[in-house]
Amino acid sequence: MKSILIVVVLLVSFLLPMRGNAETPLTAAFIRDHQLWIKDGEQETQITKGRYVHSPKWSYDGRFVAYIDGDEQGEKSDLYIYDTKAKESYQPYVRVETSDFKWSPVKNQLAYNDHGLLNVTKMKDGRPQGFENVALGVSGFEWFPNGKEFIVSSQSSLRPTGWGPIPLYKIPVNANLANDKMKKFYTIQTHEPDLFGIDADYFKWSHDGKWVSFILVPTASWSMDSQTLCVLSNQGEQFQAVGKILGYKDWFKWAPSSNQLAYISGEGRFFVENKKTKIADIPIFKEQKEYTPAGFVDLDLEWYSQDQVIVARAKENKEWTEGPVPTMYTALYAINVKTEEQKQITFPKKNELDLDPQMAGHYLAWFRKDPNDMRGDVWVKDGLSGEEFIWIKNVDSAPVFFTVKEKRIQD
């Protein structure tokens, strides 16, 4: 009888879901209590103590994590790098102050904007250390996919006749402030009200590097309610305005293996209405397809595969007109852009919302929280049909995953 009971217990244990007990092959940097942590598989490691950390970013090979050591008032913004091999944090120079920094797509070189001066780190003993000047008068920037040049924007000038055009430049990494190396890439001729802006930022390259998308940012009085999503070909020859969007960098993303751009369209700073998922084929030759059904708003998105997009969706609230802005209780939905089939894939409790969907390899991850709490949990599931489970508890915001760049899963 005892042996039969043991067999039954083992069989039940085998059949029951693992609920995250099995090794989860993910690596992420995250913030808990304003400190930097790293989780690798099931091992959590606290990296900083007594700081006020935000904006962690992985280097291209995962050896380094760059982050900002700030303060609660937002008056401090010092750049640090954590070396996972040496297990120590350091500053690439005596003091670097920035809020805009980006790793090279091809090596462990870090570029950062220091009050309009674009710099890149040099290398010393295999680590980013020291810096070289690149260009002055920089507002927004991004690496070209080859890691040899930057696309750079410079804010337009205010003239008696109004705001002027916005110049974009193509600048080599080794420009070292030399005027003859600052090549005009494209000039955005703006005009009110259809294409108004004074700056360009949040550059993102398509999967094949043939197009770059970015947001055209208007003056402060306009920017909270409407900005313009644009695309430009990699030779600076073809420019198109895609649609109206709010200034959230995660609200537009390229497909993993085609020149399709998914974005959340709409104007108005409040999330209660008029936030719809659209997909534009670039270059634009036909009307863009809208996928958000009537009565709903989409408030974040991620490509799951070439044919499926994940959105954070909530019911509209057109009845609200004044007073505290209502919480939009989002859950995740999967949209098949070919068949147009849509289905809900996460089911938060009544007082919870799901945010920030991310693909990490073939895992789908998201941030679930109570809107009255400062922190939440990171949930993951293996594919759309896998069982969901909590992977990281009590974090300040969504994590930043390190994934080796590879072809996404295909449906």
- For residue 406, is pLDDT > 70? no
12-42 pLDDT, tens digit each? 333 333 344 457 899 999 999 999 999 999 9
Residue 12's H or E segment, with its range, is: helix 2-15
CA of 138: how far to CAs of 97, 108, 116, 394, in Å? Answer: 15, 22, 5, 37
Q: Which domain holds residue 253?
A: 191-299
Identify whether the C-beta of residue 176 lies closer than 8 Å to the C-beta of residue 133. yes
C-alpha dihedral sign at 193, 197, 203, 205: positive
Q: Is residue 80 part of a domain?
A: no
Q: What is the mean pLDDT of residues 193-222?
A: 94
- For residue 190, is pLDDT > 60? yes
Q: Is residue 170 part of a domain?
A: no
Q: Is residue 42 part of a domain?
A: no
Q: Which residues pair with 190 in a beta bridge?
A: none
Distance CA 134, CA 116 (A): 11
The rounded percent of the chain whose pLDDT value lies above 90 is 88
Distance CA 348, CA 396 (A): 18
Q: What is the mean pLDDT of residues 317-342?
A: 96
- In total, how many domains does the chain have? 1
Q: Nearest-CA neighbor of 360 among 391, 329, 333, 338?
A: 391
Distance CA 48, CA 37 (A): 7
Q: Mean pLDDT of all residues in the chain?
A: 92
Q: What is the mean pLDDT of residues 383-388?
A: 94
Q: Is residue 68 part of a domain?
A: no
Q: Is residue 100 part of a domain?
A: no
Q: Is residue 232 part of a domain?
A: yes
- For residue 289, is pLDDT > 50? yes
Identify whether the C-beta of residue 383 lies closer than 8 Å to the C-beta of residue 367. no
Q: What is the mean pLDDT of residues 333-345?
A: 97
93-119 pLDDT, tens digit each? 999 999 999 999 999 999 999 999 999
pLDDT at position 11: 37
Where helices occur in 174-250 by DSSP H, the ranges are 220-223
Q: Is residue 167 part of a domain?
A: no
Backbone angle region of 21, left / alpha / beta, with phi > 0 → left and psi within -120 to 50 → alpha: alpha
Q: Is residue 406 part of a domain?
A: no
